[in-house]
Each structure stands twice: as C-alpha cells, then as structure tokens.
A and B are shown apart, each in its own frame.
Chain A
Amino acid sequence: MKALIALLVCAAIAAAAGLLAPVYDWAGGLRFASEMFLYLAMAQMWNLLAGYAGLLCMGQQMFIGLGTYCLFYTSLQLHVSPYWAMPVSFVFCGLMAALAALFMFRLRLVYFAIGTWVLSDMIASFISRTPELGGASGYQLSDVLPLINFDWFDEVIFWIAAAIAFATVWGAYALMRSSVGLGLMSIRDNDLAASSLGVDVWTNRFIVFVIAGAGCGLAGAVYFTAQLAMGPAQAFDPNWVVAMLFITIVGGIGTLEGPILGTAIYFALREVFTNVLGLSGAWYLIALGGAAMVVMLYAPNGLWPVVRDRFNIRGLSVRRQPPKSLLAQPAE
C-alpha cells in the first residue's frame, strides 16, 4: 500500500511538472524526462521477461521497431494524429508477440536468446529492402504534422511517457502479486518442479511475452513520435536491447525497483560523461560496459538488492508474507 501511495505521489509530481513546464520553459528537461520514462518502461518489460519469466530475449528491439513502424504507417496511411495510432501499436505488437511466441517458444534458454535476436535482424533487413515499407530510409511524420499541436507537444509526450512508465511499474507489481506472477517465479526457479506441481509453463510465459512485446512496442512508438522520423536502422537498433540489459542488470534483475535504479544510473552516466566531462559517446559506452562488468563481479544480483539489504527497505517487494496470526503462535 505504501508503495502504491509513493507511486501516486510521483505520478502527481510528474503531472504537475508537465503543467508548469511551459511557464518556466523546461522543454529540454521534459524531453530528457520523457526519454528516461520510456527507457524505464522498456527495461521493466525486459526485466519481466528475463528476471521473472526466465526468457532471455536478445531480440526485444523487434517490438520497438514493429511498434514504431505500425504507428508511422497507421498515422500516415489513415491520416490521423500519431497519438491515436499509439493504441494501435500497442495491440499490434501484442499480436505480433503472440505470433512470434508460437515459434520462438520451441527454443530454450540461449537458443531462445539467439533465435529472437536473429528474428529481429531478419525483420529489420526485410523492411529495409522493401520499398513499400519505406525501404532503408524509413518514414517521416511530415504529412501529419498539421494534426499535432506543437504548443503542447513536449508536454503531451512527457505525460504519455510518464503514464506508460507508471503503468509498467504498477502493472508489473500487480502481475507479480497475482497467481500468474507466482507461477512465473516458480518456473524461473525450477521449471520442471513448477510444471510437476501443475503450473502451466507455456501459458504463463506466453502472457508475459505478449505483455512485454506490447509494452515495448508502445514505448518505442512514443519515442519515435517525439523524434518525428525514423528508419529501420534506428528502430531495430540492437542497442535498444543493450540499454535494457544494462539498466536491468545494473539495477537488479528480478526486482521491480532494479530498473528504476538502473535507469537513473544509465542516464546519470550519460550526462556526466557527455555533458559534464565533455567526452565522446564512446567513452560513455566504455564506462557503461565497465560498470556492467564491475557490478557483475562484485554484486551479481545488481545494485538494488545491495541497497535494499543494507537499509532494509521493503519497497515494491512481491514476497508473500504469512498472516500475522500464524507468526504469533509458536509451532507445536
């Protein structure tokens, strides 16, 4: 309950920030915050897959790409504002994830990781050599620009991004508290034991894969709406999954707070290296890789579990507590 209140307070602060932004000219800050929220949403989805469902998906950028293409295609073909195309991207990516799962779930562990990566690369190369889908140059939103009110563009994107981020964090929390979540964690820990207890491994994983696909598709679509243009190389960039992986593992895989902490570290490193120290992007990436290695060597579960245990914070823990009445009575 406390966690829920904290989330609501954060959401209220975000809403207020958007309202005050035009007054104080925070456009740059808003764009930065939007990017952070979208990365948080993507990383949380990847965390659900890898940290809870045991699905190491190295091709998650395929849903970012598909969501982006769906949004641009729908918006340009039907001549509607990109905002209205966002739910279409969400549903489309969910369906695509369901379709992909039928084939990809035949593969296990590392095979699944490589298989999804290859699938993503294959879709990207198919799109970039199909002129009907924009070819290698992609699409621009230029035809539908009159449908967007640019006085409030940054603010609206910020609100949408914030809403997606809160929805993914809260949604992941709710999902993990449900019976699906319990089933998932039992599968992650030992899928053979879980299935012998009657947990439906395939269905539970399927649900999470579809949710993660739809969520990443939506986040990607919003990200590229803010850019107003995209191409297959950017939309299907493997660096998307690199970012999700970094954020999740540095923050703490298999904890809901981990991606939040990881996102903060990811963007803090970027700001320090590129803006404060004025170094090139390559040095920032070297620092990123180095940070991932150090965390893996000295805190293999990520940083959040270290912080949590040091300060004894309960946070968004989904651990089930036995009723107090049971604890009060000594076992006989």
Chain B
Amino acid sequence: MDWVGLIINGLCLGGLYGMLGVGLALVTGVMRFVNISHGEFIVMAAFLGVFASLQVPGINPLWLIVPVAIVFFFVGYGVQAVLFNKVVTAPDFLAPILLTFGFSIVLQNVMFEAFGTNVRSLTAGGLARESISVGGISIGVLPLITLGLAILFFVVLQLVIARTAFGRAVRATADNRDVARLMGVRPTRIFNITMGLSLALAAVAGMLLAMRATFTPFSGLSNLLVAFEVIVIGGFGSFWGALLGGFLLGLAQLIGLHFDPDAGIFYVHLAFFAVVLFRPQGLMGIKLP
C-alpha cells in the first residue's frame, strides 16, 4: 500500500475516533463530569440508526444522522435533567463516575435483552464500496465523508463555544458556576444542553461507526476506551486536542495493521502510552478555548 494512501485512510479513521471522543471532551470540560455511559449511548444510536433504516427501505443512512442526532439531543437533555444533575455538584469526582458506571451497566444489558447478541451494521448501499482514485491512490468515499463530517462538526462546535452567547455562558459555567449564576446564567440548564450536545455528537459517531464496522450491545466499553484515549492524549476538555488525538490514534492503528495484520487495537494503545508518558497533560493540555 502506498504511504500517502495509508496516511489519508489513517486520517479518515482518526476523524471517526475524534468524533467518538469529542462528546466526552465537551462534557468533561464543561462539567468536570466523567460520563462512563458515553460508549453505551454511541451503541444505542447505532441501534436506532439500524432500525430507522429498516423503516425507510432504500434510504441512504447518511440522511438518518440528523434525525438520530436530534433524538439523542433530547435524550441527553432529559438524562442530565432527571439523573446526572443530582451528582454534578458532588465535591469529589468519584460520584459521577460511579453513577454513570451503574447507568452504563443498565443500558448495556437492556440493549442485550432487547436486541440479542447478533452482530449488526448499517449498510450504506453502494456507497460503502465506492472509491475515488486520485493519482493512483484509491480512497473510499465513505471514509472521506466521515472525515469531512468530523471536521465540519469540530469547526461548528468550536464556533458555537467560542463565538456565540450560549458558548460564552458555557465557558463561564465551566470556569466558575457560582459566579456564572450571579451573572444570570442557569448552570443546570447549561449542563442539560451540554449533555444534549454531547449525546448528539455521540449519536453522529455511532451512526458513522455502524456504517464502517459492525457492533453488538457489548461494543460500548471498547468505544468508551477509544473515546477516553482520544481525550486523554488530546488533553481534557480540548476539542482540537480531541481531533488531533483521533488523527494520531487512527494513523497508529492503520500503520500498525500495515506491518502486523492481526494487531487489532494494540498499536493504538502503544501510541496512547507514547504520548501520555511524555506529556501527561495531553497534547493540548488547556481548558476550554
């Protein structure tokens, strides 16, 4: 395989990995809240995508990303309002981890009871096999679309957080929620919307993942691990760090697979340690932009 093709495909996979991580990075950055159930929501979105595509035969699953993401925005808003806001003010960081940990076990096994252990995926029709050829390098269309969507979502999220009034309220809440409240911001409402956005991004990641690979109700944990690796090497709460981390891990995986065909995710872990041991604060170890 040509090196340029390898790198481009690695970046495409990296875009997907970045999408897995960015929702988690948003919540961690804004609320200091580690959501262990993020991986389960990614898988749930994939299931919703599969069933939605069965209802509308012949539709290109790419069009389903928007409605599924909107559904998950409201799911996130509701879960945060009903459940997660009860522990978000806890003094130690353990309480949210343990609550969402319990929640993830519940979600995973409810999915198992509802859908069984069959391996599933979203069939993107002819799109999955199409590829374009530039200068003798052939690149799949679907991975390219994934990369394009990932970059689009990163840019939009960055603009929303950095330029809008809502983004200003989010940053203020992240910095000091008590002072933000004095300025007329309602932290719980900001948290609800943030969790909604986070799960909407998780839904996009889940749909893209389901188009690229297979999944089962038990895929949540491995997705969560990749998402964590992305945001840890990116630096907690940094969006660009998450994208950069995703690129790095995607490249590590494909270059590793090139030399060692049954390596699986081993070289992703190796790359993770290479970064983390030399830069424990992550590549872009800063708070929100």
Contacts and interface: CB of A to CB of B under 8 A. Distances in A.
| Consensus secondary structure, chain A interface | helix
Nearest to A128: B264
Contact of A289 (B94, B105, B265): B105
Most buried by B among A109, A125, A126: A125
Nearest to A248: B98
Contacts of A296: 87, 95, 98-99, 102
Interface string B99-126: 1011111101110110000000000000
Contacts of A126: 266
A17 interface: no
Nearest to B90: A300
Given A111-B280, A119-B273, A285 B95 contact: no
B102 to A, nearest CB: 3
Label chain B's interface by main secondary structure: helix
A288 interface: yes
A132 to B, nearest CB: 15
B221 A125 contact: no
Interface string A214-255: 000000000000000000000000100010011001000100
A113 B276 CA distance: 13
Contacts, number: 109
B222 to A, nearest CB: 8
B51 interface: no
Contacts of A13: none
Given A118-B229, A121-B225, A122-B266, A110 B101 contact: no
Interface of B: 34, 83, 86-87, 90, 93-95, 97-99, 101-106, 108-110, 112-113, 221, 225, 228-229, 232, 236, 262-266, 269-270, 272-273, 276-277, 280
Given A122-B266, A292-B101, 4 more contacts: A111-B280, A115-B273, A129-B263, A293-B106
Interface of A: 50, 56, 103, 106-111, 113-115, 117-119, 121-122, 125-126, 129, 238, 242, 245-246, 249, 253, 280, 282-283, 285-286, 288-293, 296-297, 300
